[in-house]
Structure formats: structure tokens, C-alpha cells
Amino acid sequence: MHDERRRIEERVQRAHDQRIKPAVYAATVPFEVEAWQAPGEPVSFEEAAAARYTPFAMDTPWGPPWGTTWFRMRGQVPAEWAGKRVEAVIDLGFVGDWPGNQAEALVHLADGRPLKAVNPLNQYVPIANPATGGEQIDYLVEAASNPDILKDNFSKVTPMGDKLTAGSAPLYTFQRADLAVLDEEVFHLDLDLQVLRELMVHLAEHEPRRHEILHALDRAMDALDLDDVSGSAAAVREVLAPVLAKPAHASAHTISGVGHAHIDSAWLWPIRETKRKTSRTFSNVTALADEYDDFIFACSQAQQYEWVRDNYPHVWARIQESVKKGQWAPVGGMWVEADGNLPGGEAIARQLVHGKRFFIEHFGIETKGVWLPDSFGYTAAYPQLAKLAGNDWFLTQKISWNQTNKFPHHTFWWEGIDGTRIFTHFPPVDTYNARFSGEEMDRAVRNYSEKGGGQRSLAPFGWGDGGGGPTREIMERARRLADLEGSPKVVVEHPDDFFAQAREEYPDAPVWVGELYLELHRATYTSQARTKQGNRRSEHKLREAELWATTAALHAPGYSYPYDKLDRLWKTVLLHQFHDILPGSSIAWVHREAEAEYARVAEELEVLTAEAVAALGAGGTRVFNTSPFDRAEVVRTPEGAPAYVEVPANGSAPLTVTEPARSVKTEGRVLDNGLVRVEVAEDGTLSSVRDLRCDREVLGDKGNLLRLHTDLPNYWDAWDIDKHYNNRYTDLLEPTSVEVVSEDPLLGAIRVTRSFGKGSTITQTITLRAGSARIDFETDIDWHEAEKILKAAFPVDVRAAHSSAEIQFGHVQRPTHTNTSWEAARFEVSGHRWVHVGEPGYGVAVLNDSTYGHDVSRTVREDGGTTTTVRLSLVRAPRIPDPEADQGRHRFTYSLLPGASIEDTVAEGYSLNLPLRVADAAGAPEPVVSVDGQGVTVEAVKLADDGSGDVVVRLYESGGGRASGVLRTGFPLAGAQVTDLLERPLEDAAVEEGGVPVSLRPFQVLTLRLRRG
């Protein structure tokens, strides 16, 4: 037989594109259209309905950036269309084929009920099937003219990311607003051809099935009347029916399709636009559920449900009905799909608590899995936290983006830092926006790593990132692929069902231990430094407010615990931990608003904490310590003078002047407090840090060396640091000034000022306090660089085989060598409050109060010693998608802690991030809780969320070893329970002599509910 593949394939392609596709709609009649441009921000339907509309013609430009235009569309179904399927078809002037980053619209009936949304891949609105003829149509269409930020594929700087800089020129030209008849036979022929052609081209050339389909398509084209596509469509489908009817092989891979619409809670659009995106996508999804009984849609992010509940009650009612019918599956159990590395441990716990409670309260459903397809790597603390929240499975997708190493598993047990394992799946289709294309189905099977062990995988299907969701075309593909020779089998089902079957068929799946590190998007640990600082400080201020509000509720008559305010503030912080806000990868508008929200949160929490402390009584001055560790350190009195105080963990003490064992001596550029001696060189770096306790030089080279690197990644500017950034740099070694600014015996300080680059300045106050080995670098930067990253280096004279970096409820160890490609790929990593490096008998820590990115490397010196260098990433200057990212002022502190054990480092990390509070208070009760024994660390103290008055305490083992002790209370204790994260009882805890004995495995998290006597 002659090889005629090319001729046939090109024939089919042209006939489909130029004849069949245009014939899907058999007849059209235009709407009469009027328009009204809403001023400023979006308005309610009621305001839009009352507005004055003017005639609007097709091919007319409309829509300023971030604007809202309302269109009134009126029409009548022609009488001759009776018995036919009639739809409205609307094309706002769509660009490309991505629904989420351009014009979108929500179609309402005249009474305000939302019907359905339109986007480039979903332009229709059902009217009647069958029509009776004569139906009067009156729509109000809310159209958003969001700019296409991705127009240049992230290659060009754009001002469109903020309404303040985007201008007002119209972005779109309206193309179409019609009543139309859907020719269902042609519609189905269109899908038959697409599915078969895509299957064919992804089958191997030697496969008989490929050639069978090829010749069936050729015969089908012979049956097609090019002058009467509609009239010949049925005959063409008859030719194709036999090849569509052939069943899949018995051993075919099974793909569990789960309807999905990934909606970023903010990214290339602001939060206000996401609120509207949810209404559009969810309207489409519920409309699709009405049309396809076998459709199931999985949807995460309780925050988005709440937006719909509060703003679109009709859509909310439809969601509730779909949930009852089993077609809508709440998943994920988190408030938002948060970043997987940066939120603190307690914040991840609250993400799970608030998310799961929302679904339980509103749908009576307890979600069973963590659904996080798109975060940029995942902390090794997740397995334990997920299980403690009652989850059985974990789903992710993003690790498929690895730059260097292919992740070896798709179905596996993921083991966290404490030993907890959770069943995890990583869809081999390599997208969370699947559409069941032939290429996707082929990739899923080829890519699947578990062949011979498992035989099924999951595919989230539907257009996403900016929403859109599944379409009827995708559902039709799924039906055709349910049992088709040459293809994997596709079954649309609930993700819980997939995970149950996958676990049953593959119980001995392989184990992955530790973090799921994404070998890409490493700059998300640093970009948009003010957003990250706002998150860090909000987390610690929430901890502080809860502790002192609990103290006041227990001991201050008349004080009322601020449940609702704390709940609202927590949810604000959780929202901004979304995986494109906290990582710094959103447009300018998002980060501008985030900074304002963090400022508001800080102000409210300051008021709540001050009210709680004031409720404890006035008439003196006390120091309040929110840290879980006893502290002896220098604070400022209300008059501004330094004072040395000793304060118990989670408690307070009078502000009394206590003389430390050693004071600070300042001589020239040398600070000495008897514990360490710090010498500042003429160039402003540290020339020596000597640990006087063991007579040991800490540094192996210049300390606090500030290095400015060129930072232009290959593609994703705000997301990525590529390895070549390290090849070009400038060391900042020419200070403007180096001067002593404090010679107080309690506090010595030297200030170094530098100017560099394009008008940037940095002022650092190097501070050493009495009684502490910690050296602080209080930093004030006025940053005006572009495509640069600033790092601070501490080369220390220790031979460290690994570094330890704090993560949620513990820390991870990472090798300092680069023996394999896996270690080499970790050239930039994340950590929370500290990084520790050490050799047996001696360690050094670098602490911070707001950044997350760092790198650790080591070199061997000429004298044979090893220098291990820890570098903090301080600030970046990407230009896409926010051209002004990180520009302006930054204030933060980082520290060097010589001679530090892990326990020392944990304590100082809390101290740096939880400054002592000095307040007017006559007296204070004993701490709400205290712990006898080392290693048991208190992370949260609060009242139970159910309003019972019980006290809830979250503890964890912080050193990486076994820990035991006794939790004691500052109030009469009547009983105790171990609970899950949602404060539901798991078992009774023993109470002995007024305390609760506690025994923890390494990094174990324990929640106790304490009943008051």
C-alpha cells in the first residue's frame, strides 16, 4: 500500500478547520446591543440595571484596562427555529485561547440572576433546547476588560499590571453577539474528528490502529458534502462510528478525570477581579453539571466559596445543589491554595483548619485530601500537618517543572520530617488544565513512572489559572475516550475515589522522604520583600495577640476574647499566603494592596494586644515575652534608654534594671561584651568575630559581605534565579561612612552607610548587646536597582557537612556539597527564621526577621581548613510582571549567632521575630502555660474556637530528637485532651500534679485542649 499519510492528514485538517468547524452554528441573528461604561471599580447589578445605555455596534473598540462595561442585549428567537437548539454566542474580541487573562463576561437575566460566563473557549449561553420560536431574550452582560499581561509571553515590561499605570485606551474590539442555532450533528462530528485525528497522530507509525483510523478518516471525507456539511454530517459520522466503537485494550492505563478550574486568588489580576472570576467559572460549571449527569467538578479554596456566598447568592445556591447531587466535590481543605514553603507552621495549620471547617459547616463534607497542584515546592512538614487535619491524601503537579532532575514517582508515600507518611499523587499528564487531547493522553501513559505497580493516574481537566473550567467539548472528549482502542481509558470521578483505588492497587508504593523541592522558581523565596515581611510580622503579631488575649480572658474580669476579630484577621493573612501573592509573582496592583492590608492587620493586632495587656491592670511598667523561651536581654524603656531584663517564657516581668554579668565595651570599631568580640574593618565588613567563650575565630573571610549580583533569569523574572546569576557581581566595599553610634555599656553599635548602583543606599547598624552573643544587623535600604539581587554573606570557619534550615515545626538538613545533580540544583533554598551550620562541638547560625531565601556553600582554604558560607538573599529587582518590584525603602534585621546549638538557634529565632513588649501594667499572672523540660516548644496558645473557654496549646519538638517534659498551667486545670488540628478530641491526656506529661518524637506536633477548673 502506498504511504498517503500526509495527503490524508492535511485533507482532514483543512476540511475540519474550514468547513466543519464553521458549520457548527447553522443560522444566526444578531442581538440589538447597548452599552454603559461603569466608572471606576465594578458596580452591583442593581446599579448597572438602572444606568443609561447607548446603542453599540459590532467591530467597535471597548474596554479600558481593568474597566467594566455593561452590555444590554435584546433579541427574539425566530419562529422558524422552533424545535431547534438555540444559543447566544458572544465574542467580546477575545485574544488567543487562554480564558483567564483577557476579556471575560458574566451574562445575567433581566432580574439579576447570573446565567453563565463567556470567554474565548466558552462563548455560548444556552437559551432553549428545543426552542418554541418567538422567545424574547433580554440579557445584561457584565464584561471585564482585563489586560492581557502575557501578551508578550513575559518577555517585555508592561505598565498594565496596575490600574494606576495602565492608561485608558480601549483594549478590545467587540466581534459578535448573536442568537444562533447549534447544529448538534455537526457539533458531534467536530468532536469525533478531533478525538480520532489526535489519537492517530500520537500512535506509533508501526501501529495498525494508526493506519486504521487514517483510512477511516479518508473515507469519512469522501462522505462529506462540502456544500452541505449539515446534511451530510450524519453520514460522515456513520463512517467513523466503527473506529470509535472499538474498545480499549484490557491492560490500558486508566485516567481518572476530575473537572477542575484552577483560579489563582490573585496573580495577573487583583483580588477584586478574582471575586468576579469565581462567579463566572462557577456559573459555567453548574450549567455544565445540568447538561452532563456524569460530570464531577473538584474545587478547592474555601475563600473563593465565601466570596461567591457573599456576593453571588444565586450562584452559591447552584453550587449547594450540585454538591448535593454529587457533581461538585469540595477538595483541598485549605483556606486558599497557599505557597508550599513560606507560610509558618501555625499558618499552615490554620489554612487547614479554616478550610476544612468551612466545607463541614456549609456542605456537611469533610475533605480528605490536600489539593495543591501549583505551589512552588512543598515543605517536609506537610505530611504531618495534613494527617493531623484528618487528611488521607496529597496531590501536587508543579514538580513536573523541574529544571534539572525528573522526579522519579507519580504515586508514592511522602514521608515528612517527623516520620508521618501520606499517600501522594503527582499526575503524569503534567498539567492541572487538561483537556483530554491526544497529546495529553499519550504523555500521561508514556510519563507514568509506576508501570508494573499501579495502572491509574489522575487528570484535572478544564481551563485554569485564571479560571474558565471544563467545557462541554472536554466532556465530549472524555465520553469518546472512556473505552477507545489505542487510548487510555478515561473515567470521570471524584478524587477520593481515585485515591482509594490507587492506594488499593499499589499499597507498597515507593517512599519519598523530605521536602518536595522545585528545581525552578527559586526567587519566590525573595521577590517582593515587603509582602514577605508583612506575612512574617503578621504571623508573629497574631501569635502575640492570641497569647495575651488568652491571658486576659483567664484572669481579667470583664474581658471578652476577640474571637471574631482574630478569625477575620487570620483569614486576611491566610488569603495573602496564596501561591502567587506571598511568593511575589503577581502584578503591581496585587502587591500594592497586600502591603496596605498587612499594615492594616498590624494596626488592628496592635490594638487587640494592647487592649489585652491593659485589661491585666495598670500602674507600673512590665515587659511581656511572647516567645516560648525564657529571655534575658536588653530592651528600651518607655523613655528610650536601654535596660537589661529577665522575662519568663510566655510571661511577663517588672521592668527592673538588672546588671548583666558582662557589659559592652566599645573601642574604635571593636565591640566586646565578654562573650564575643566583633571587629569592623575600614570597608564596613566584619574583619573578625571571636567567640571569647572558647577562644575561637568564627569567620573564615570577610563577614557581612554585601554582594550585588546581576540577576536576569532566562524566563520567569519574578519567579526565577538561574545559576548564572553567581557569575557576575560587585562587592560593596566602599562605605560612605563607618561610625560608632552607641557606646552604652548595655548596647554598643557601629553604623555603616553605603551608596551604590543607580542611586541606592544601605545603612546598617551593627549592634552587640550585653549578655548576648547575637550580633544584629539592623538594615535600612533605599533600593533603586533593576535586575539585581543583593546578598549578605557570612563565611564561617566550620566544616559543615550539611546546613540546617528552619521550616514549619522543625528544620531540614541539606548537604553543603554538590556530589549529584540533585544537590547542585539546590543552589538557592528556603528557610524561615534561621539557618545553622556546624561541625561536632561548634555551630553558627544566621537569623532573620523577614526573608526566606538563602544559599550555603563551602570551600577549602589554603591552610587546609574549611569555610562554610551562608548567604541571605535580601532584596531583588525583577521587572516582570511588576516593573517596580521591590523599589524603595526596606527595613529589616538579620543576625549572626556564634557558638550556637540548634536549641540556642531556635530560641534566638523566636527572640528576633518576637520583640519584647514594654507596657503599662501593675502586675500579671503566671504564664498561661510553661514547660518543664527541653525540646518541647510552645507554638500557639489560644482559646478553643468553639467558645467553650477551654485553652488550646500547640506544641512541637524543635531539636530533631526525643523530648519530654511537663506542661504546667497558670490556671486551675480540670482535664486535658489530645486533639487534631481542628480541636476535635483524639484521646484523653494524663493530668498529674496539675500538669500534663508530654513525650514527643522528633519534630512531632501535639495539640492539647485544656479544660479549666
Nearest to 224 by CA among 198, 251, 186: 186
- Residue 424: name the closest of 481, 323, 483, 503 by CA: 503
What pairs with residue 328 in β-bridges?
Answer: 297
Question: Are β-strands 297-299 and 328-330 bridged in parallel, bridged antiparallel, or unpaired?
Answer: parallel
Q: How far apart are CA 956 and CA 811, in angstroms?
A: 12
Element (H, E) at 997: strand 995-1000
The beta strands (E) that lie in 522-628 are given as 621-624
Please name every residue paired with 644 in a beta bridge, in sequence order, or none if there are none: 634
Distances (CA, A) of 329 to 275, 371, 373: 20, 12, 16
Distance separating alpha carbons of residues 159 and 883, to the nearest angstrom: 7
Give the strand pairing for 810-815 and 866-876: unpaired
Q: How many CB atoms lie within 10 A of CB 944?
A: 17
The DSSP element (H or E) to which 911 belongs, if any, is helix 902-913
Single out the residue of 410, 395, 465, 473 nearest to residue 437, CA to CA.
473
User: Is 374 in the active site?
Assistant: yes
Residue among 374, 418, 430, 442 flagged as catalytic: 374
CA distance 895 to 909: 9
Residues forming a β-bridge with 754: 762
From residue 864, alpha-carbon distances to 700, 859, 861, 867 in Å are 12, 10, 5, 10
Is residue 346 within 8 Å of residue 382, measured between CB atoms?
no
- Distance (Å, whole) CA 617 – CA 290: 61
DSSP string, 440-454: HHHHHHHH-TTBTTB
Q: Which ranges of 914-949 would DSSP assign to H, the alpha helix?
A: none
Q: Which amino acid is at 690?
A: R
Q: How far is CA 143 from the centre of its chain?
A: 28
User: Residue 795 is inside which H or E element, if any?
Assistant: strand 788-796
Distance of CA 969 to the CA centre of its chain: 36
Q: Measured at the alpha carbon of residue 208, what is the angle toward residues 207 and 211, in degrees to the nearest 5? A: 100
Grid cell 527572640 is found at 911
Rounded distance between C-alpha atoms, residue 598 and residue 1000, angstroms: 35
Q: CA 855 → CA 861, 872, 940, distances in Å?
A: 19, 7, 30
Among the listed residues 328, 315, 305, the one whose alpha carbon sits nearest the alpha carbon of residue 259: 328
Residue 658 grid cell: 538588672
Reduced to 3 states (helix: H, G, I; strand: E, B; else coil), residue 233 is helix
Q: Which residues contact 694 (CB under 8 A, 6 or more apart)?
A: 842, 899
What end-to-end distance do the CA atoms of the chain give, in Å? 91
**Neighbouring residues of 386: CB distance < 8 A, sequence distance ≥ 6:** 352, 370, 394, 422
CA pair distance 164, 172, nearest whole angstrom: 19
Q: Kind and range of the H or E element at 81?
A: none
User: Do the beta carbons of residue 58 and residue 174 sit within 8 Å?
Assistant: yes
DSSP H or E stretch at residue 652: strand 652-654
Helical packing angle, 313-324 and 302-311, nearest 10° = 130
Of 551, 454, 522, 568, the C-alpha closest to 924 is: 551
Residues designated as active site: 374
